[in-house]
Amino acid sequence: MALLQISEPGESTNPHEHRLAAGIDLGTTNSLIASVKSGLAEMLADEQGEHTLPSVVRYTENGIIIGASAKSAAAEDPLNTISSVKRYMGRGLNDIKELGGRRPYEFVDTDSAVPRIHTVTGDVSPVEVSAEILKSLKHRAEKSLGDSLTGVVITVPAYFDDAQRQATKDAGKLAGLNVLRLLNEPTAAAVAYGLDKKTEGIIAVYDLGGGTFDISILRLNKGVFEVMATAGDTALGGDDFDYAIAKWIMQEANIQDDTSHHQMRRLMRDACAAKEILSNSDVAKLNIELDDGSNWSGSLTLKKFIELVAPLIQKTLLPCRRALRDAGVDAAEVQSVVMVGGSTRVPEVRAKVGTFFEQEPLTDINPDTVVAMGAAIQADILVGNKPDDDLLLLDVIPLSLGLETMGGLVEKVISRNTTIPVARAQDFTTFKDGQTAMSIHALQGERELVSDCRSLGRFTLHEIPAMVAGAARIRVTFQVDADGLLSISAREETTGVESGIEVKPSYGLTDTEIETMLRDSIEHAEDDVAARMLREQQVEAERVLEALQAALADDGELLNTEERKPIDLAAQKLQELSKGNELRAIKDAIAELDNAATEFVARRMDGNIKKALAGHNVNEF
C-alpha cells in the first residue's frame, strides 16, 4: 500500500508556488540535466529516452546540429564539428596550443584574445559553442517539465580559474538561462552523495571526466559541506586516454601522416570504443579505416592499454597528494573516496586510486549522473522551493589573491583554499609626501614577488588628500562571490572617495601555469622569503633616504658643513648598498645613517616644538 504524505498547515509549498529549477553538468564529453521532482533529483531525458547529451556541436549550411547526430558526423566533417569545447573555455589561442594533442579545428587569428573556430557558417567562440549545448538542455528541460525554468545551477571543475568560470556563466546567459550560481563538480557530487548516504567526516571526491580532472577533500558534518582543499588539472581526462591509444594505433598501423583531420577523428572514435570495451574485457578488436580506403586490423590487450594510460593515471595522483597536504590530513583520515566522471569506469583507475587511499573507492552511485543530480538539489534550494533547508555549501578559491606593494612585492589578502563566498579588507597607505593617487594592481599566485605571479587587473584611486607619507588610509577590499568571481574596491577613509574593478580577464591560466605556480611556491619557498626580506629592506632604505632629503631641504640650515658631511656620506653609502643584494649590509647602513642623523633630528624636533609654542604658554597645552 502506498504511503500518503501529510503536511502541517503552512509547511507545504503550494503547487502553483513551486518554481522549476535544474542542475546542469556541462561536461567535456557529455552533458546532462536534472531536476527535483517530488523531492527527489531525477535525470531529464530527451525524446529518445537518452539522459546524456554528447557535448558536440556541428555547424552546417542548413543549421546547427547538437548531440549524438553531431558526434556521428565528426569523422566525415571534422572542421565543422566541435567537441571537447570545455577545454577551450576562458583560454587564449596560445593557451590552447599548449594543451597537447592535435586539435582538428581551424582557429582564426584575430585581434581579440578570445579564440574563434572557423566553420562553414562563420567563426564561433567556445562560449557560443557551449551556449548551443546549454540551449539544447534548456529545451529538453522545459519540454519535460512543461514550463520555463526559473533558474539553473551549472557545474564547473573545481580548478577552473576566474576566466573559465566567467566564460561558463556567459555561455549560460547567451543560452537564455538564469544562472543562479556555478557549483564545483566535486561539491555537486558531495551534495548528492552526502544527502543519500548521510555521510559525516572527511571524504575525497576523485573526478576524472572527459577533459578535466579534479580532486577535492571535503568535510561533511550535519548538512555542512566544506571543501577543505582542491587540486587538479584542467587539461587531463578521458580524451587523453583516447589520444594515447590513437598514437599507439598509428605506430602499429604505420600511419605517418597525423595532419589528416578525418583520420584523427576516426582514430579517436575507435580508440574511445576500444577503451570502453576494455572496461569489461581483456582484449579489444580493432578495424581501422585508413585514408587510402584500406583497413588495418589488430587488437589492443588490457595489459597494453594499462601500459599506455599508466602515466596519465599517475599524473592524477600528484594533485591528490597536494590536496591532502593543503587540507592538513593524511590519506588514512579519509573515510570515503567517491568516484565521479565516466573515466573512473576504467578498472585500472579505480585500482590505482584504491591503492593510493588504501581503501576501496565508492562506485555505487552512477559516476556519470551524480554531478547533475547534486546541482539539481542545490538549484531547487536556491529558487526557494526548500526555504527551511539547512544545507550549506562552502567552496574555496584555488589560488591566493593579493596586491602589489612597493618594491614589487605581493601582499596576500586572501589565501588559497579560503572558503567562499568571502570578503577581506586590508589597509594601505601612501609612500610619498603629497601623493594624491594610488595604483592598485591585483595578483594571483603563491609567490612573494610580482614577477612570479599572474596579473589579474589594475585600477587607480584618484583624489587622495595630499598628506605626508603614511598619513592617508586606503582600505582595499577583495570580494569573491559564490561563483568564484572577484571584485576589488579601494576607498580613502577620510574623504570617502572610492574606485574599483570587476576582474573579468579575457582568458585564463593554462594547466601548465597552474601546476607550475603551485609547485614553484613550494620549491622556492626559502628563496622567496629571502627575496622578500631583501626587497622590504630596499624599500625601507628608499623611504629613509626620501625622508632625509625632504628634511634637509626644509631645515638643512640647522647643520654646518662639518656636521652635515657624515650624514651625506652615510646617505651615499646607503644609496649604493640598497642597489645590491646584501640584506645585512643594507640594514647596517640604515642604522648607521640613523645614528649619523640623530643630532639633526633632535634639532629639528626642538625647532618644531618652539614654533608650536610661539605665542602660547605651557598652561594652554
> What residues are annotated to the active site?
25, 86, 185, 207
Of the candidates 440, 442, 414, 445, the one whose C-alpha atom is nearest the C-alpha of residue 528 is 445
Number of CB atoms found within 10 A of residue 309's CB = 24
Q: What is the DSSP letter of 51?
A: -
Distance CA(606)–CA(601), nearest Å, equals: 9
What phi and psi, each to the nearest 5 degrees, are found at residue 504? -130, 75
401 has which bridge partners?
414, 444
Distances (CA, A) of 82 to 14, 127, 129, 156, 576: 43, 12, 8, 19, 60
d(C-alpha 455, C-alpha 320), whole Å: 27
Residue with grid cell 626644509, as numbered in its chain: 554
Residue pair 216/204 in contact by the 8 Å Cβ criterion = yes
The neighbouring-strand residues paired with 491 are: 475, 498
**Residue 204: its H or E element:** strand 201-208
Residue with cell 558526434: 71
Rounded to an integer, what distance in angstroms lies between the CA atom of residue 155 and that of residue 375? Answer: 7
How far is it, in rounded angstroms, from Cα 198 to Cα 243? 39
Please answer whether residues 213 and 239 qualify as being in contact, where contact means their C-beta atoms are separated by less than 8 angstroms. Answer: no
- Helix H, strand E, coil C: the string for 72-138 is HCCCCCCCCEEECHHHHCCCCHHHHHCCCCCCCCCEECCCCCCCEEEECCEEECHHHHHHHHHHHHH
Neighbours of 354 (CB within 10 A): 14
Q: What is the CA radius of gyration of the chain?
A: 30
Q: In the numeric block, which cell numbers belong to residue 233?
A: 588539472
Place of cell 624599500: 539
Sequence letter at residue 372: A
Whole-number Å distance between alpha carbons of 44 and 251: 42
Q: How far is CA 585 from CA 361, 390, 417, 546, in A?
A: 57, 59, 38, 19
Rounded Cα distance, 250 and 150, in Å:
49
The residue assigned the cell 647643520 is 559
Other beta carbons less than 10 A from residue 613's beta carbon: 12
Q: How far apart (Å, rounded) are the C-alpha atoms in residues 571 and 576?
A: 9
Q: Report residue 90: phi and psi, to 5°.
A: 70, 20
For CA atoms 272, 98, 168, 487, give the dihedral sign.
positive
Dist CA 202 CA 220 (whole Å): 6
Strand, helix or coil at 443?
strand
Q: Give dist(CA 105, CA 47) in Å, integer.
A: 31
